[in-house]
A and B are shown apart, each in its own frame.
Chain A
């Protein structure tokens, strides 16, 4: 596999996970600092399924996705009923939990990590997965479930008055996001062939959040474009040596100041009929407990 293929695969994986964050944060207004941990669950489950149970590529990926889904129910069931802030906190707790369990467990290789997962992922795998994910998320957004998510984000109480089950809607968005993170994680495991707990910390989760805002909170296109742009940017800045992270942060910050709604705002690329995305209102989501104007 060449360098370019490697970059393309990584970009695709980032884009898949970012689509999940878009559903969760952009559509539903929930902030998760645990998306990378769902990646970890997906990656480790897929890796272990392959390494210890000899499952093939596709079945292992399925195991990863299912494991992430299960985890999303465990985290979501208690926390999604509460204020959005507590949900965010629960995701942080989940992040710490996953990291320490991975460090402690001999089954996952502890801090040394899981060595010897097969290198299977190729560009076309990721391309197909990404295409599917983009299609699913687009349809989800336009479906009644997507509209339910938007109504929960805008005003949860009002949504419930109109017959939207807010808890179920949030759980659905959370699980979809977790499943996508799990899928991304699985592909990651088979791309890298090696997993260690420090790959999936809270800082990684927050990078995904920044990414979705950078692209435009209300735009699926934006989430996709931002994942491509920022992954490429980080790679290009490799030659900047010590200045790399500083430049990366500066570029993001300046962009956000000049385009506070992100690159794409709520604009969507559409084929045929022009369709305007739903503009995200300025209702603080999670990490913003006492919601007020």
Chain B
């Protein structure tokens, strides 16, 4: 009997999952990010930023006179989980627009579902295929709110070639991560087009922790620059291990190398100093003062990574779209997202304009930073992508 009861419970549970009523008084905005798993630091920062923005907007009276109800779900870093989270937000919680995911693979999985469900999602997954699955085609309901990986790789290559006068590049890319490979490809392509030489282009398997085999190879080609489109941990280890093997070249890296973690993974600022990386947010800009103040007041600790800004900006872009749509309707909000123009944000140069043809931002610039010996980020220059 007990076991039959257990069986019954199993079947009932599935029903219970779907059981959450929603009184649709406030405007429900969904948010999907990694609250568990290896990128949960970024995910929780993104969520904190989003919650902060929603609170600010609500304190000012909300949108269209209604409050925003932000519901955040975890995707565990797994595409199927992301899709379930999206469906749950749309079906159960009746979200009219969804923000988030910094994972290209998860956004790639959600994109076709969003086409069916017709509820827009705007996030930070920088793989261009998220919004443009094939040339000439755009996913109607999926949007990107930062420069794409192709643009980021291109900007780094131009900075290295034009501003630092580097000519012989080595590239190290994580073959299991499209964030890494797509930036690496864009970098190599641009660098060669400018007239530089890519002396070594190594793609390694995901999960590698010991890069000495590759660094030894790279060293034998004597490049003058290494491009490391990596997450902070891998990038830091690569830098640390190349110093250990006596390879001292200029390091160019992706936006993840702006994390404080990067310095730790490098084994200290003495190794990290001199690294150039990209970052479309300059926290030293006075305009961030109120943001920092509000964040610290709410969470009792300083901002950890720039992902906080991503969550924060996402919600303001969504709020703007809902306001301009004039009604709480996913289709109208989608149209409004597509036509975002000159909306103030914290990232980039402070203004956000969406390209309706690609659903990616128009000419969103990034800062190039250099890690200084005292552990501060020194902004070198603001660089715009070439469209």
| Chain A residues within CB distance 8 Å of chain B | 1-4, 6-8, 10-11, 99-100, 103-104, 110-113, 115-116, 119, 188, 192-194, 196-199, 221, 225, 228-229, 232-233, 235-236, 238-239, 241-242, 244-245, 263-264, 267, 269
A197 to B13, CA, bound (A): 30
A102 to B79, CA, bound (A): 16
Taking a contact as CB atoms closer than 8 A, the residue among A7, A229, A238, A267 that contacts B10 in the complex is: A229
* Residue ID in chain A nearest B89 by CB atoms: A3
Please state if B182 and A229 are interface contacts (CB–CB under 8 Å).
no
Q: A3-B92, A99-B176 are in contact. List 18 more A-B contacts (CB 8 A).
A: A6-B87, A11-B14, A103-B175, A110-B175, A112-B129, A113-B108, A115-B129, A119-B113, A119-B116, A232-B16, A235-B17, A238-B85, A242-B35, A242-B36, A244-B74, A245-B36, A245-B37, A269-B3
| Chain B residues within CB distance 8 Å of chain A | 3-4, 6-7, 9-11, 13-14, 16-18, 35-37, 40, 44, 72-74, 76-80, 83-85, 87-88, 90-92, 104-105, 108-109, 111-113, 116, 127, 129, 133-134, 174-178, 181-182, 203, 205-206
* Nearest CB of chain A from residue B229's CB, rounded to whole Å: 12
Please state if B90 and A3 are interface contacts (CB–CB under 8 Å).
yes
* Nearest CB of chain B from residue A82's CB, rounded to whole Å: 26
* Residue ID in chain A nearest B17 by CB atoms: A235
* Nearest CB of chain A from residue B49's CB, rounded to whole Å: 15
Q: A113-B105, A199-B78 are in contact. Are A235 and B10 (CB under 8 A)?
A: no
Taking a contact as CB atoms closer than 8 A, the residue among B10, B73, B80, B133 that contacts A115 in the complex is: B133
Please state if B91 and A4 are interface contacts (CB–CB under 8 Å).
yes
A3 to B117, CA, bound (A): 10
* A residues in contact with B77, CB < 8 Å: 198
A241 to B35, CA, bound (A): 6
Taking a contact as CB atoms closer than 8 A, the residue among B7, B13, B108, B111 that contacts A112 in the complex is: B108
Q: A3-B18, A3-B88 are in contact. Are A225 and B10 (CB under 8 A)?
A: yes
Q: A111-B181, A115-B133, A228-B14 are in contact. Are A269 and B44 (CB under 8 A)?
A: no
A221 to B7, CA, bound (A): 9
SS class of chain B's interface: helix, strand, loop or mixed?
Answer: helix
* B residues in contact with A229, CB < 8 Å: 9-10, 13
* 9 closest Cβ pairs, A-B complex: A3-B91, A3-B87, A232-B13, A112-B178, A194-B109, A4-B18, A228-B10, A196-B105, A193-B112
Please state if B91 and A110 are interface contacts (CB–CB under 8 Å).
no
* Sample of 5 A–B contacts (CB below 8 Å): A100-B175, A196-B105, A229-B9, A238-B73, A269-B7
Please state if B105 and A119 are interface contacts (CB–CB under 8 Å).
no
* Nearest CB of chain A from residue B205's CB, rounded to whole Å: 5
* Residue ID in chain B nearest A116 by CB atoms: B133
Q: A6-B87, A7-B14, A228-B13 are in contact. Are A115 and B108 (CB under 8 A)?
A: yes
A245 to B36, CA, bound (A): 7
* A residues in contact with B181, CB < 8 Å: 110-112
* B residues in contact with A198, CB < 8 Å: 77-79, 105, 176, 206
* A residues in contact with B37, CB < 8 Å: 245
Please state if A228 and B11 are interface contacts (CB–CB under 8 Å).
yes
* Residue ID in chain B nearest A241 by CB atoms: B35
* Nearest CB of chain B from residue A138's CB, rounded to whole Å: 15
A1 to B83, CA, bound (A): 12
* A residues in contact with B203, CB < 8 Å: 104
Please state if A2 and B87 are interface contacts (CB–CB under 8 Å).
yes
* B residues in contact with A244, CB < 8 Å: 35-36, 74, 76
A112 to B6, CA, bound (A): 41
Taking a contact as CB atoms closer than 8 A, the residue among A2, A111, A269 that contacts B175 in the complex is: A111
